[in-house]
């Protein structure tokens, strides 16, 4: 699940690890953005996308448990210009759930260039990371969760906050799908997640990482540095049954210690049901906002840490990051990201 790769394993293979997922309204289109391969580790990262992997956006309709639409990206090896070829496929119906299905080619091109066809427009490449957070604040939240303890507000000050991701980069996949696409017409309710898969020696595919809501791994599994938790390998439809108790218990312990909920167990389960299945819900054609009162997609300027910390602690939490100088980079027009 979403994580910025500040772990030993991710530093070795960040191309397969998802940093963020965004879903928002474009120019009469829905925009899907998946970021991978963060430079935050300061390690000598391998550039580009993995040539033996797949990168997929999965789309559910009207709260359905399974996806009915998917967009699959495949990349070639880096060439002499440090670019890669790419192919994009659309899969619908049962094919959207079938790793062996070929899908329909809808675009092809190279990284760093705009390409498209039919109802889609695509840009992929290295960008300045739009995500922003002060990792000092995350450390205080992690400590509270680990010890089921009261949040130590003296350990971090909002007026001293800095963006720990300033100057870092990620590889980004930007997919814009026109509202002329019959399945993504204006007003359609969708749930979105993304994933990476790696080819196996047996000829199949193994799911490596997936993402829906932001900040899931850093909050709930901060010590799982080798990504061994089975949450990454399963389908979101199994989330609540297989993992709901763990999320509910963690939240209940923290809100009980902080006295922020009259019935901690009940509140813990309410959070588990909001976060699981781990999908970003969005109404096509509306303004995206991953906010306190409602979560509708996720715009690139949304303060996801503030929202997630406030949700799991059941108390208003500020990040201290409000100025465009300290926030992540983004653009108002396609491809909506800032190439590095």
| Mean pLDDT split into 10-residue runs, the chain, 340 residues | 45 80 96 94 78 97 97 97 97 98 97 96 96 94 93 91 91 97 97 95 90 93 77 94 96 97 98 97 97 93 94 94 76 95
- Give me the pLDDT at residue 6, please: 41
So what's the pLDDT on residue 322? 77
The pTM (predicted TM-score) of the whole model is 0.94
Q: Is the peptide bond before 85 cis (omega within 30 degrees of 0)?
A: no
Q: Look at residue 10 in the predicted model and tell me its pLDDT.
A: 44
pLDDT of residue 292: 85
The pLDDT of residue 198 is 92
Q: What is the reported pLDDT for 5?
A: 43
pLDDT of residue 323: 66
Model pLDDT, residue 8:
43
The pLDDT of residue 92 is 98
């Amino acid at each position: 699940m979403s994580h910025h790769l500040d772990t030993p394993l991710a530093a070795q293979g960040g191309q397969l690890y998802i940093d963020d997922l965004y879903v928002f309204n474009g120019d009469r289109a829905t925009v899907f953005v998946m970021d991978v391969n963060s430079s935050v580790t300061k390690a000598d990262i391998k550039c580009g996308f993995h040539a033996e992997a797949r990168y997929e956006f999965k789309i559910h309709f009207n709260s359905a448990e399974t996806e009915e639409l998917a967009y699959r990206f495949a990349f070639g090896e880096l060439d002499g210009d440090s670019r890669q070829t790419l192919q994009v496929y659309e899969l619908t119906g049962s094919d959207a759930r079938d790793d062996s299905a070929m899908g329909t080619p809808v675009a092809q091109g190279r990284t760093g260039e705009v390409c498209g066809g039919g109802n889609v427009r695509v840009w992929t490449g290295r960008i300045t990371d739009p995500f922003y957070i002060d990792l000092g604040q995350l450390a205080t939240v992690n400590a509270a969760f680990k010890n089921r303890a009261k949040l130590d507000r003296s350990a971090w000050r909002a007026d001293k906050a800095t963006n720990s991701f300033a100057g870092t980069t990620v590889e980004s996949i930007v997919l814009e799908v026109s509202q002329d696409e019959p399945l993504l017409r204006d007003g359609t309710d969708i749930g979105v997640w993304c994933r990476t898969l790696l080819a196996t020696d047996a000829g199949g595919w193994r799911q490596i990482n997936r993402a829906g809501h932001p900040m899931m791994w850093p909050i709930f599994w901060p010590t799982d540095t080798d990504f061994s938790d089975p949450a990454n390998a399963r389908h979101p439809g199994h989330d609540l049954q297989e993992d709901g108790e763990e999320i509910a218990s963690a939240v209940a312990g923290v809100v009980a210690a902080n006295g922020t909920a009259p019935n901690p167990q009940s509140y813990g389960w309410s959070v588990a049901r909001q976060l699981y299945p781990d999908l970003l819900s969005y109404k096509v054609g509306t303004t995206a906002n991953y906010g306190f009162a409602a979560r509708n997609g996720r715009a690139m300027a949304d303060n996801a840490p503030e929202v997630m910390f406030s949700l799991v602690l059941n108390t208003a939490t500020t990040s201290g990051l409000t100025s465009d100088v300290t926030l992540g980079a983004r653009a108002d027009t396609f491809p909506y990201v800032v190439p590095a």
